[in-house]
Structure 1
């Protein structure tokens, strides 16, 4: 398992559009992808799970990948989150 602490930069947090971008990208990963936020573990392959977490701008999250391509998946998703998830 690999992980990285990131800060959410999206002005409105992870609302529908960025949550959808993240879930779609996580769905393409061979690894299990989760976010740790406020003591909760969130499965990233579900838009509803991401939105239900209520992750706001400036929040620190821990992105975790566990599986055969975990290092590649973590790098790809980290870049996506740091770039603002298309916003």
Structure 2
């Protein structure tokens, strides 16, 4: 398993548009990709799952991947979310 802990800096948190960006990035990989916030963990490939966490701005989240392409998945997801200024 590969994981990274990051801070959400998008002004609206990880809702609607930023959540869609995250889900689209995660869905490109075979690995199981999850996001954890305040003790809850959901499948990052599920828009409803990600939005159900209600992640506000300035929150720390942990993104984890398990599978054949776990390292590439974490790197790509982190890169996309940083480029869109969703995480710091």
TM-score by length of 2: 0.90
Equivalences for 1:1-87 in 2 at 5 Å? 1-83=1-83, 84-85=85-86
RMSD: 1.0
Cα distance in 1, alignment partners of residues 7 and 24 from structure 2: 20
* Unaligned residue ranges in structure 2 (runs of 5+): none
Q: Residue 81 of structure 1: CA displacement?
A: 2.1
Cα distance in 2, alignment partners of residues 42 and 82 from structure 1: 21
* Unaligned residue ranges in structure 1 (runs of 5+): none
TM-score by length of 1: 0.91
